[in-house]
């Protein structure tokens, strides 16, 4: 009898305390989650800047000095000497590269001519008249089918090459003949930096490797924390005060002693969850003025960190994986949404924000993305994924004109010897 009574009571309570949406248990169902008390939104999405700031402020850039740098181990090129009017005066042709937008490519620039590669990994040296002086390929038939992508560095009469299929080699710059060639455990994914008799590069396993220039033998290596996916972003490194400082695919910045390979300091910039998301995580090149290191990422973070200690000076919310450019006391960068930022270097305060895509129709703006930029004297040149180059005046942030370079994605622009270069899928175009 007691058992029957308990079952009856249970059925009564369940019918009157239903878990349907009209029950009193759900009387707060219309209240948004983020507005409820005692609830913290852990994965709140960062909002990137979508408005201009002080767009009419004019900057005094009369004290800016332009240089003619071709190589800088701190990636601090600053404004470069270029007064050109974007008149085409050269076209260095090679077999077309596929998926140009997926690779951060750069020619090796000489005092007269350039060095680049084609879609089978052949290394080509051009003179200033765009004629090929020599062309050599050191890959097997099967390796050529992989269409290796090459990175270059010049040391006196030697050209150092690392690629994305795990090979590295040295070529005589004058003859194009092979000095030596070796295989790495993993493909490379970085620029090359040279210091005295050594060169440095980073592979896809987040390992910094030190090699001897003379024969390619490894001096030491340092592996940092690995990720579960292959990064879609090229790693960056600088050399400063006897240290190699580099980033990896999960946002760690590490300083390593050049001679011993021992860690001097390390700064993690992302949470552990980024390990599973590295394909979408992109970070700019590291740039240093000797006192601080500057870089940004596509997670809406722009950093300044101390060179000696690796501690953070400041962080600002700027969504960009393009390499920032430093002047005396200012930093210039372009966000992934097409905003030109002028930043105070010492404090990180944003002085001015100008929107560079105003001249495009609203529908087109959503598809636009900046690829890279360079500063020539007091003008900024920004390449975009629509094959066009935007030229703007740094002093007032206004767009001067837009030049069509190609029909699709082009590389970042490069200024060398008072000429501007842009890579297309099958050529490098030069402008005076």
d(CA 418, CA 80): 8
What pLDDT sits at residue 277? 65
What pLDDT sits at residue 27? 37
Residue 9 main-chain phi, psi, to 5 deg: -65, -40
- In 3D, which of 265, 264, 200, 270 has the Cα closest to residue 231? 270
Q: Are strands 198-202 and 193-195 parallel, antiparallel or unpaired?
A: antiparallel
Instruction: For residue 168, list its beta bridge partners.
Output: 162, 182
What pLDDT sits at residue 276? 65
What pLDDT sits at residue 102? 61
3-state class (DSSP) for residue 75 = coil
What pLDDT sits at residue 4? 45
Question: What is this structure's pTM?
Answer: 0.87
Question: Is residue 342 within 8 Å of residue 59, measured between CB atoms?
Answer: yes
Alpha-carbon 272 to chain mean position:
21
Alpha-carbon 138 to chain mean position:
28
Question: Is residue 367 within 8 Å of residue 336, measured between CB atoms?
Answer: no
d(CA 308, CA 294): 14
What pLDDT sits at residue 278? 65
> pLDDT tens digits, residue range 413-428?
999 999 999 999 899 9
Three-class SS of 151-199:
EEEEECCEEEEEECCCEEEEEECCCCCEEEEEECCCCECECCEEECCEE
What pLDDT sits at residue 11? 44
**Residues of the chain where predicted confidence (pLDDT) is lower than 50:** 1-45
Which residues, in sequence order, are CB contacts of 366 under 8 Å at separation 6+? none
Question: Is residue 253 within 8 Å of residue 247, measured between CB atoms?
Answer: yes
What pLDDT sits at residue 46? 52
d(CA 45, CA 76): 32
Q: Is the alpha carbon torsion for 413, 414, 419, 425 positive or negative?
A: negative
d(CA 424, CA 385): 11
d(CA 425, CA 91): 12
């Amino acid at each position: 009898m007691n058992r029957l009574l308990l079952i009856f009571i249970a059925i009564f309570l369940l019918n009157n305390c239903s878990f349907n949406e009209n029950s009193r248990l759900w009387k707060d169902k219309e209240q948004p989650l983020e507005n409820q008390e005692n609830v913290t939104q852990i994965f709140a999405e960062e909002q990137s800047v979508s408005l201009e700031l002080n767009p009419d402020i004019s900057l005094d850039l009369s004290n800016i000095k332009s240089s003619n740098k071709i190589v800088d181990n701190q990636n601090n090129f600053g404004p470069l000497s270029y007064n050109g009017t974007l008149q085409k005066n050269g076209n260095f042709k090679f077999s077309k590269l596929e998926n140009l937008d997926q690779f951060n490519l750069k020619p090796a620039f000489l005092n007269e001519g350039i060095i680049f590669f084609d879609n089978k990994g052949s290394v080509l040296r051009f003179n200033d008249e765009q004629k090929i002086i020599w062309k050599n390929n050191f890959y097997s038939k099967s390796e050529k089918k992989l269409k290796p992508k090459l990175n270059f560095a010049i040391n006196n009469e030697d050209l150092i090459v690392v690629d994305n299929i795990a090979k590295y080699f040295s070529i005589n710059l004058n003859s194009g003949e092979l000095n030596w060639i070796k295989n790495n455990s993993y493909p490379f994914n970085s620029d090359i930096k040279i210091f005295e008799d050594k060169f440095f590069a980073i592979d896809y396993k987040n390992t910094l490797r030190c090699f001897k220039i003379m024969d390619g033998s490894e001096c030491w290596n340092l592996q940092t924390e690995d990720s579960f996916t292959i990064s879609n972003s090229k790693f960056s490194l600088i050399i400063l005060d006897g240290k190699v400082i580099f980033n990896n695919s999960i946002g760690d910045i590490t300083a390593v002693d050049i001679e011993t390979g021992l860690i001097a300091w390390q700064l993690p910039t992302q949470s552990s969850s980024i390990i599973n998301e590295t394909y979408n995580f992109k970070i700019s090149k590291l740039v240093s003025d000797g006192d601080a290191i500057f870089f940004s990422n596509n997670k809406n973070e722009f950093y300044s960190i101390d060179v000696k200690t690796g501690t953070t000076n400041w962080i600002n919310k700027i969504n960009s994986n393009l390499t920032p450019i430093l002047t005396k006391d200012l930093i210039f960068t372009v966000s992934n949404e097409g905003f030109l930022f002028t930043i105070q270097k010492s404090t990180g305060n944003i002085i001015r924000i100008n929107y560079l895509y105003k001249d495009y129709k609203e529908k087109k703006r959503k598809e636009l993305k900046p690829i890279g930029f360079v500063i020539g004297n007091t003008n900024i040149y920004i390449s975009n994924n629509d094959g066009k180059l935007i030229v703007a005046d740094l002093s007032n942030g206004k767009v001067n004109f837009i030049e069509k370079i190609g029909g699709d994605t082009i590389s970042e622009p490069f200024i060398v010897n008072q000429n501007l270069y842009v890579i297309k899928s099958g050529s490098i175009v030069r402008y005076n």
